[in-house]
Amino acid sequence: MGEPQVTKHAVRTDFKKSAGLALANARLGAAMNAATLRQDTGRRAIMPELGDPLVVRELAKAIKNHTLQNLDRYLAQLADNVRMNGGVVHFAQTAEQARAIICDIARKAGIKTIVKAKSMASEEIELNDALEAAGFDVAETDLGEYILQLAAEKPSHIVTPVLHKTREDIGQLFHEKLGIEYTGDPPTLTAAARKVLREKFRHADMGITGANFGVAETGTICIVTNEGNGRFCSSRPRVVVSLMGMEKVIPRMRDLPVFLKLLAKSATGQRITCYTSLMTGPRRPGDFDGPEEYHLVIMDRGRSEILGSEFRDALRCIRCGACLNACPVYRKLGGHAYQSVYPGPIGKVITPLLDGVIEYEQLPLASSLCGACLEACPVRIDLPTLLLQHRDLISRRNRMPFVWKWGFKGWRIAMQSRFIYSWGSWFGRLFLSVTAKDGWVSRLFGPGAGWTDHRDFPLMAAKPFHRRWATIQQNVNEEGKS
């Protein structure tokens, strides 16, 4: 429908352009408003179940901070324990390596059909494209991801990926791609997907999952789902591969509940997801079911750079999407405007770091720093401060626009001199009052147009407070005496 950034292999455009497209889409705006509000409200309503949610969030933050400080140690322990349980562990420093490893596993095992559970890490590396190019049949099995696969589109939210589509859109898509009679009824559409995917589950020989958490102490990979597709992907095929971003490791099994208690509540306002799957290696000798081969692929792909930088805190992220749901900018734009795997506040911070500080330069700037994201974050990532750090770096790279760089030098001079500040304001008022009506200006030029395109700008007061102080001081003393 003419929105280039939505489709899978679209060329990236300027952020303001993609944001503009999103803002012009009233239907998208209404859908995003309803969905994000509902999930955010759900989170707020359920978090008090934890007693003092802040205490639990701080505990989760501490566990993650400790883990990140000792990440190599815990990854080694995880690898040891996965192997001890019969699994194979692979290390991928780059997206290329991760894709190659997984294709290689599939090739060596003579795989034909792959079923995939939801994995943001796999979106990062565009795994499906690589697998399909290598000749494998890949089916996304999470309903939202399946819809995206049929539509050849990208997700617009990290937890509920097809918020940008209406039931009618999906009905039309299924009619075209699956040949079923058109319907906009979610249960009917879901049943149609279920039928197709059930057959895939029955016959697929490889399953690919992500990893919400990797427990170092026990060699267990944990995935959380609501649909049951994760369970199928990890139980039925003879080869199972879990792709894990390296920051997902946690030290002990007893740390896992802390995160499970926070994750679903923060994401959708559920107490816990329907299914929490805990995979510890392949089937044991004598087991009736379960994979013969279990592979864990631990991926870096830019995370070690983040780890060794002042942006480390962003690696605490458990991909709950709470910040997206709380963000007023995301609520207006939806995910596609960001043109990155991770949209929303966390996306603004990590996308430049993972995918290019120049290419994604606009993202850290496009925030009012309202702090709703930090307030929502179950692991208390100070996203506003990280965004400010990005902005500091952008200006140090000398990539802030000329007008702002020199504008602020002038501003600095004015703010350091009461004289200039005071007379500057006086002149400003004089200048603006030429076009002002009732004390408001409806047109500013240059950067100011960004303001007046949407609202009026007030004139400064005829007599600012600092010019009134002498009188006020006098009056106040008199009133005090009476």
Partner 1 sequence: MRVSLFATCLGDLFYPDIPECVVRILNRLGHRIDFPEEQTCCGQPALNSGFMDDFKAVAARMIRIFENAEVIVTPSGSCCSIVREYYPHAFRDDPTMHAKAVAMAGKTFELVEFLQKKLKVDWKPWNLSYSGSATYHYSCHHRGIDMSPQDVIGLIKEFRGLDFRLLEKMEQCCGFGGTFSVKFGDISGAMVRDKVACIKATGADLLICNDGGCTMNIIGACRREGFHIEAKHIAQMLDEAMRNGKSR
Partner 2 sequence: MPECTQEAFLATVRKAASFVHGEPVKLPEDTETARVIKPGNDVIDIFMQRLDEAKIRAHRVASETALPDKIVEILAEAGAKSALLPAEDTPGREAIIARLQEKGIALANPDERDAAFEADAGITGVTLAVAETASICLPSGGQHRRLASLAVPTHIGIVRVEQIVPDLLDFAARWPARAPANMVLVSAPSKTADIELALVMGVHGPRLEYVVVVG
Amino acid making up residue 175: H
State the DSSP H helix or E strand holding residue 132, giving kind and residue range, or none if neither.
Answer: helix 127-133
- The binder of 357, among partner 2, partner 1, none, by C-beta within 5 to 8 A per type, is none
- The binder of 383, among partner 2, partner 1, none, by C-beta within 5 to 8 A per type, is none
Binding partner 1 (rule: CB under 8 A), the pick from 418, 430, 435, 474 is 418
Cα-Cα-Cα-Cα dihedral of 11, 15, 17, 23, to 10°?
120
Determine, following the binding rule CB under 8 A, whether residue 50 of this chain makes contact with partner 2: yes
Binding partner 2 (rule: CB under 8 A), the pick from 277, 340, 351, 367 is 277
**Spatial contact of 60 and 258, defined as CB atoms under 8 Å apart:** yes
Binding partner 2 (rule: CB under 8 A), the pick from 4, 13, 17, 93 is 93
Choose between 10 and 459: whose C-beta lies nearer to partner 1. Answer: 459
Pull the structure tokens for residue 63. Answer: 């566990």
Choose between 190 and 475: whose C-beta lies nearer to partner 2. Answer: 190
How many angstroms separate the CA atoms of 42 and 162, rounded? 19
* Burial class of residue 24, CB neighbours in 10 A (0-12, 13-18, 19+): exposed
The SS3 call for residue 275 is strand
How many angstroms separate the CA atoms of 414 and 424, rounded? 7
Determine, following the binding rule CB under 8 A, whether residue 143 of this chain makes contact with partner 2: yes
Binding partner 2 (rule: CB under 8 A), the pick from 113, 172, 226, 433 is 226
Determine, following the binding rule CB under 8 A, whether residue 392 of this chain makes contact with partner 1: yes
Determine, following the binding rule CB under 8 A, whether residue 461 of this chain makes contact with partner 1: yes
Binding partner 1 (rule: CB under 8 A), the pick from 113, 180, 217, 440 is 440
Stretch of 230-238, 345-353, 383-391, 394-402 contacting partner 2, by CB under 8 A: 230-238
**Spatial contact of 309 and 365, defined as CB atoms under 8 Å apart:** no
- The binder of 4, among partner 2, partner 1, none, by C-beta within 5 to 8 A per type, is none
- Residue partners of 89: CB distance under 8 A and separation at least 6: 78, 79, 82, 83, 295, 296, 298
What are the CA-CA distances from residue 134 to residues 99, 152, 234, 244, 433 (Å)? Answer: 10, 18, 22, 22, 68
Task: Give the interface with partner 1 as residue ranges (CB under 8 A).
Answer: 16, 19-20, 23, 29, 33, 37, 328-329, 331-333, 365-372, 374-375, 385, 388, 390-395, 400, 404-405, 408-409, 411-412, 414-416, 418, 421, 425, 440, 442, 447-451, 453-458, 460-461, 463-466, 468-469, 472-473, 476, 479-480
